[in-house]
Amino acid sequence: MIRTMFKFKRILLSDIDFNDHSFLITTRSDIDDLMTSIRALGLLNFPLLIQKNSKYTVVCGFRRLAACQALGWPDMEARLLSSESPPLKCAQHAILDNISQRSLNYLEKSRSLCLLAACCGSLQELSQRASETGLPEHPDVIKKIMGLIFLPAALQTALLSDTISFPMALELGAMTAGEGVRLAELFKVLKLGFSMQSELIRHIKEISVREDLPIGQLLQERFIQNVLNDDDMDSIQKTRQIRSWLKQRRFPNLSGAEKEFESLAKSLKPGKHIKLTPPPDFEGLAYTLSFYFKNMKELLDCKDRFDKMICNPNLHRLLSRK
């Protein structure tokens, strides 16, 4: 636990270096809510500063200071750390101040861990310091979260807006900057959830590898661009069109296989309580047969229908597919 005695002093806002973001953690820049609160109640939680040469550096309270500046305050009360305070103590104060107000998002966690990392000599020490401030402490998780700080700005924005998830941000970040950003933009336009993002990116990567075609070039193909620019379709319709096109591109024989399966499966007359499911994308040979029943009568009916399906030559034709 950090225990520090602060000195309180009235500081001219002109003496604060607002361009020094050494200890900036928050990703928020809006101040309207703070301005309303400060105008009505005054400043209840004083910013924490440390003097560097002739100027003061902000340790925590960036948004509060911006709000006071926007309100036209010439000066304000502030807490001061000793100018001899080590960077680690400043970093810990900055992190704890933010964590005490809200749950940190992934980018704020990344900034916090990077602040601590600059003061630690090893990953083990960083893990210990992270634990002390309520941050993730597992070394592998720490390395992944810290990597977010190096993502292109567009991917960071997509992560903050929940357009992409943390795992997807890592996956897109591992691509070339242009490819990752273009995919994030596609996900934003189509308003895709994580599972659909994963499906599309899997098809896109596999097409790229199989056809030796850069992902960026694939995304620029006429069909995709025409769909994206079609104002008569909503995001659901666009997703359906692009998903179908990618699936057909990835599995050229899929459409024919689906039609053949539907025809043969229908000829088996399974009824409403039996469902025959083909292998995913028709790439394997393992089918799934499901029974649904609520009583013994329905179960016996399933058995009779199943016995008839077993004797149907179309089932043998279906299962002999190579």
Q: Where are the domains of the chain?
A: 7-149, 162-250, 258-319
Question: Which CATH architecture group holds 7-149?
Answer: Alpha-Beta Complex (3.90)
What is the model's pTM?
0.76
Q: Which of 55, 46, 60 is nearest to 95 (CA)?
A: 60
Task: Sheet with 55-60: list strands edge to edge.
Answer: 7-12, 75-81, 48-52, 55-60
Q: Which helix (H) or strand (E) holds 10?
A: strand 7-12
Q: What is the pLDDT of residue 170?
A: 95
Q: What is the pLDDT of residue 147?
A: 95
- Residue for token pair 């070039």: 217
Rounded to whole angstroms, the Cα distance separating 203 from 33 reads 44
- Residue for token pair 């003496």: 15
- Residue for token pair 């820049």: 29
Cβ atoms 97, 64 nearer than 8 A:
no
- One-letter identity of residue 142: I
- One-letter identity of residue 30: D
Q: What is the pLDDT of residue 262?
A: 80
Each of the 322 residues of the chain gets a pLDDT tens digit; together they read 455 668 899 999 999 999 999 999 999 999 999 999 999 998 888 999 999 888 999 999 999 999 999 999 999 999 999 989 999 999 999 999 999 988 999 999 999 999 999 999 999 999 999 999 999 999 999 999 999 999 999 999 999 999 999 999 999 999 987 899 999 999 999 999 999 999 999 999 999 999 999 999 999 999 999 999 999 999 999 999 999 999 888 887 666 677 777 887 788 888 888 888 887 766 667 888 888 888 888 888 888 888 888 888 888 877 776 5
**Where do runs of H (alpha helix) occur along 212-277?**
215-219, 222-228, 235-250, 254-267
Q: What is the pLDDT of residue 275?
A: 85
Q: What is the pLDDT of residue 321?
A: 64
DSSP class of 282: G
| Total Cβ atoms within 10 A of residue 225 | 11
DSSP class of 106: H
Q: What is the pLDDT of residue 291?
A: 84
